[in-house]
Chain A
Amino acid sequence: MAWTSEQVAALAPDAASASAGRGLASPQKWGVLANDPDGRALWGECQGSGSKPYQVQVDLAGPAFNCTCPSRKFPCKHGIALLLLFAEQQNKFTLGEPPDRVLEWLAKRDTKAQAKAEPPAPRTEEDEKKSAEAQAKRAADRESRVSAGIEEMDLWLKDVVRQGLAAVQTRPSNFWYDKAARLVDSQAPGAARLVRELASVASSGEGWAERLIVELGKLHLLAEAYRRIGDLPDTMQATIRTHIGWTLRQEELLEQPGVRERWLVLGRSTSEEEKITVQRTWVASADGSIQAMLLSFAAGGQVLDTSLAPGGAFEAELVYYPGMLPLRAAVKDRQSEYQPIKSFALPGETLASRWLEQYASALAMDPWLELFPVSLCDVTPVLLSEEEGWALCDGESTAIPISPGFTRGWQLLALSGGSAISVFGEWDGRFLLPLSAVVQGRFVSLAPARGEAQ
C-alpha cells in the first residue's frame, strides 16, 4: 500500500499545515527516522524550536498520528512530514523494532477500538421508564415550539409575497437573518438555515426573482408538509423532520441495520455555516449503484477529521439516516482501515441525460434536496467563453455547466489535454461543482490548491 505525496497532503487539516509539513520533510531535520518490519508504524524525532526534539509517530493502519509538539492541529505538521518522508524517501528510514512509547500507543489504540465494539452496560427497568417519560415530555415540548415557529415562518412568507419581491430585494441581510434566528429559538435549525440562504439568493444577480420565489415556495411547501405530517408515510415524515432540523441521536441511528460495502471515497467539500465548518464526504460502492454522504462538523478552533481522504477506500457498515431519499449516512462499524487506491476507477454515467433522470427521481423523493452527487465518465472539459465559463462535454455533445465559483478550470483542462476524463462533483440544480477527477486511473483532488484562498 503505497502512499503518494498528494494523498498525504490530503490528510492535512488545512493548506498551511500541508505547506509546513512539506517544509519539514527533509531528512536533515530528523534525528531518528524508522519503521517497523510489519509495516504498521513509523516513528521519528524532529528538531523543533525548543531544546528537546519532538517525538513523532504514525500508525499506518488508520492512519493516526501522535506527536509531543504543542500544536493543536491534528494531524500536526510533524506527522504530515513524517508520512511524506515515508512516501517519498523510504530509503532514508531504518528498519527496526519500535521503541516502548510507540508500542504503548499502538496498544492503547487497539484497546480503544475494541472497547467501541463492546455494548454499553444495561440499565434497570426503573431507569428506563423514567428516562422514557422525560424523553416523551421533551419531545412534546419541542413539537409545540417547532410548530409555533413554522407557523410564524409561513405567515411571514405570505407577508413577503404580499409586499412583493421588489420591495424585499433591497433589504439588508439582517432582514433574513433575524427571521432565521427566531427559527433557531423555536428549535428548527434546519428551517433557519434555509431562511438564511435566502439572503444570498436575493442578491444573486440575473434571474434572482425566479430563484427567490421558488425558494420561498419550497419553504412554504415545507410548512404545509409539517402541518399535515401525521398523515404522511414514515419515510416522508423523516425527510420533513430532517429538513426542519430534527437530528437523530447517533446511538439510535447506529442501532439500525446498515449496508456493508467496500466504499470508494469519491470527493469531499466543505462549507462555512454560521461559524461551523461542514465537511461532506461522498462515498459510493465500487459499481456506483449505492451512494452515501458522510457529514462532519467542526466548530470554532476544532479540526475536522480528514482521515477518509478522496481517492481511497474502506470497508464499513454505513447506516442511512431515515428519509425518502437515502443519502446521508453514518459509519456504524469499520471492517478495514482506509487505504489510498493507486489506480482508481470512477463508477459513473457517461451521458448527462441519464444522470439528469436520476436527479429528477431524487427531487421527486426529496424536493428540498440541495446537493446531488454526480459521477461522470468520459467527459471533456471545455471553456465556453469568458462570460459563460467552464463546462463538461459528454458523449452526446451536451454541455454540463460548471459552477462559476470553481477555480481550477485550467488544471482540469491541462489534466485532460482534450481527451475524455472522469469527474465527480456536486450538482445544485443549476451548476456542477467538480470535486475530483480521475485521469487514466490517477485520482486528482480538485479542492482549492495552495496559492489560492481556501
Chain B
Amino acid sequence: MNRPGGNLQTLASVALIGGERQDLAPLLRSDPAGDLIRSLDPAEHEAALLSAAAIAGLYEAAGRTLSSLPLTVLRGPSPMETRPTWSSLSSAHLQEILFGRYRQGVILSQWLRAAVAAGRVSPPDLLPDLLEAGRKGAEVRDLISQVIGERGRWLAACNPEWSYVSAQKPSYENPEQVHTLWETGTRAERVALLTEYRQVDRAAARALVEETWATDPPEDRAAFIEALRHEAGLDDEPLLERAQDDKRKEVRTAAVALLSKIPGSKLSSRMQDRALAAISLKRGLLSPEKIELTLPAECNAAMIRDGIEPKSHDAGVGERAHWFRETLVRTSPSVLCERLGRTRAQLLQMATRSEWKVVLVTGLKSAALRFGDAELIRELLRICLADAEIMRAVGGIRSLNLAAVLPREEVETIAIGAMKSPNSRAASHYAIDLIITIVDGWSIELTAAIAGFVSMGMNECAPNSAEAWVYKDILDRISWLAPTQIAEQVSAVFSSKSGGEDWQKYWGKAVVDCLDLLRFRRDMITALDDSAGEN
C-alpha cells in the first residue's frame, strides 16, 4: 500500500506522546493533505492535530492503492469434473450428518459409501467441510478422497493440512518407489505401506523390514513384525527368530505371537510338545475317558523365551496350572486333536470330566480364538449351552466372540434361534450378547428378528431396570445397523406398540429417535440411488 508522504505516521507519533507543543508544519510533506494541514491555526494545538489527523486519514483512505499480486501465488484453474455432482437434497443430508442431528461417524461412512457407489462427487460448496472431516477422521479419509472429485483434489493441493489426499500411493510394480517410500515415510506411512505390500508380495515385504532392521527403533520393529501377520509362513521364520531374541520386550512379544501361529515352526513344535507332555488320557474300568494333567514343574528360560508369561494374573488358577494353560493356549487345536487322535468334541468331553475342567476349557477357548478354530468354538458353544457352570467359567457367550470366528450367516442363525427360543431368561441374555457383537452388515432377517425381540422385551421388562437399558441400547443399534430397506417394517413393529402413558414416557423418545435415524438413512440412500440413475 502506498503511503502518501508519511503525514499520518508523523501525526500519530506526535499524538502518542501528547502534551508537546510541536509545530507540525516542517514535518509535513507537500501534498494536498499537507498543504491543507499547514493552513490550520497552530495556536489551537490539539484541535489542529485532530483536524490534521482527519485530513491525512481521509486523504490516505481515498487515495488508497492496492498492491499487485506476486504471480507465484496464482494457481491455474482446476481440471473439469469427470463425474456428476450429487443433488442438493443429498448435500442437505450430508450437512445434517456433518453438523446436524445425525453426527455419528458410522453414518458418515455409510453415506460416503453410498455416494461412491452412485458414482457422484461433491459440489464445490461442501469441499472444505469434507476435506476437514477427512483430516480429523482417518477412518473416512479413503472414502472422502473418492468423492471429492477433480475440484476437491485441486483444492486439497492448496492447503498443506489436506495433503493426505495426495499422499502418495506407490505403484507396487515399481520397487524403487516402494523403497523410497519405505526409507522416507513416517511410522504410520511405513506400516500402511508394509501391510498393503505384504498382500502383493510376501517375501519382498519381509525383505523391506530386514533391510532397515538394524537401525529402526524398537517401537517400529514391533509394529512391522505385527504388520507381517498376513499369511505368515515358514519362510518368515528366520526374521521372526531373530526378533524373538531382540533386546526389547515388545519386539519379542510380537515375534512369538506370529511364530506360535505358523504351523511347523520350531516354536510351535516346542509348544505342542510341552502341552502334550502334560496331557494324558485316562480311561477307568467303568468310567469314560478323561484328561489327566501332569503340570509343568517350572517355567524355565526357554518357556519364557517362547512367550509364556511366568506370572499368573488369574486368582482362581495356581501357578503351575497357569503355566500349563499358557502352553495349551499357544497350541493349535488341530495339531492337538491330531496328536491325541481324538475329535474336538471328544477332546472337550474329556476335558469336562477332568479335575482340571476349568483350566482345560478356558485354555481351549483361548486357543480356539487365537487360531481361529471355528469347529472348536462350535463345540464349546454346545457345551456351554448345556452346562451353566462351564458357561460361567468361560465367561459367558460374549467371551466366545462368535462373530470373530464363525461365518456371519452362522452367527445370525444362532442369534435368531436364540431370540425365538421359548427359554426366556437365559436365551434372552445369550441372544443379547450375540447381537451386541455383530457391528456391521445386519441382514433383513436378523433385523426383523431383533425388532420383534426388542419389542417384546420392552413390554415385559420394568422401566429403568438394567434390562431396559440394554433394550434401549439395542434400539439405538437398530437405528444405525438395520438395512434401510426394512425401515417401514421396523416402524410398523414399534408403532403398533403404543402402550400406556408410562410406557410412552419411558420408551417414547427412544423409539422416535430410532425410527427417525432409520428413515433418515433410508432417505439419504434413496436420494443418492435416485441420482445414480439420472445424469
Contacts and interface: CB of A to CB of B under 8 A. Distances in A.
Interface of A: 4-6, 19, 22-23, 26, 28, 88-89, 157-159, 161-167, 209-210, 212-221, 224, 352-353, 356, 359-360, 363-364, 367, 380, 382-384, 391, 393, 396-401, 410-411, 413-415, 417-419, 429, 439, 444, 450-451
B15 to A, nearest CB: 4
Contacts of B16: 164-166, 209
A431 B71 CA distance: 21
A410 B50 contact: no
Contacts of A364: 62
B61 A363 contact: yes
Contacts of B65: 353, 356
Interface residues of B, number: 62
A213 B66 contact: no
B158 interface: yes
27 contacts: A6-B88, A22-B92, A22-B100, A88-B88, A164-B16, A164-B17, A167-B18, A209-B13, A213-B53, A214-B53, A217-B53, A363-B61, A383-B73, A384-B69, A391-B69, A397-B68, A399-B67, A410-B128, A413-B158, A414-B127, A415-B124, A415-B125, A417-B124, A418-B78, A429-B64, A450-B95, A450-B100
Interface in B499-533: 519-520, 523
A-B complex: 9 closest residue pairs judged by Cβ atoms: A164-B18, A214-B57, A217-B54, A217-B53, A418-B77, A410-B128, A158-B46, A220-B50, A360-B62
B9 A367 contact: no
Contacts, number: 184
B63 interface: yes
Contact of A217 (B18, B50, B75): B50
Given A401-B66, A419-B77, A162 B19 contact: yes
Contact of A400 (B13, B66, B73, B78): B66
A393 B69 contact: yes
- Chain A interface SS verdict (over half): helix
Contact of A382 (B18, B50, B73, B155): B73
Given A6-B88, A418-B78, 19 more contacts: A5-B91, A19-B101, A23-B100, A23-B101, A28-B519, A88-B92, A157-B50, A164-B16, A164-B18, A164-B19, A165-B15, A209-B12, A209-B16, A217-B49, A363-B62, A393-B74, A399-B66, A400-B66, A411-B128
Nearest to B3: A210
Contact of A4 (B61, B66, B73, B88): B88
A399 B69 contact: yes
Nearest to B162: A410
B52 A217 contact: yes
B355 interface: no
A421 to B, nearest CB: 10
B217 interface: no
A417 to B, nearest CB: 4
Contact of A220 (B11, B51, B64): B51
A367 B55 CA distance: 10
Contact of A450 (B55, B66, B99): B99
B408 interface: no
A165 B96 CA distance: 50
A163 B75 CA distance: 50
B70 to A, nearest CB: 9
Nearest to B160: A386
A221 B96 contact: no
A47 to B, nearest CB: 10
Contacts of B129: 451
B154 interface: yes
A328 B492 CA distance: 58
A451 B99 contact: yes
B124 A382 contact: no
Nearest to A215: B57
A356 B12 contact: no
Given A5-B92, A356-B64, A363-B58, A382 B51 contact: no
Nearest to B78: A417
Nearest to B18: A164
Residue among A89, A384, A397, A419 with max Cβ neighbours from chain B (10 Å)? A397
Contacts of B75: 418
B151 A417 contact: yes
Given A5-B89, A220-B47, A221-B54, A19 B100 contact: yes
B51 A217 contact: yes
B112 interface: no
B316 to A, nearest CB: 52
Contacts of A166: 16-18
A217 B89 contact: no
Interface string B364-384: 000000000000000000000
B8 interface: yes
A162 B46 contact: yes
Contacts of A215: 57
B76 interface: yes
Contacts of A6: 88
Nearest to A409: B128
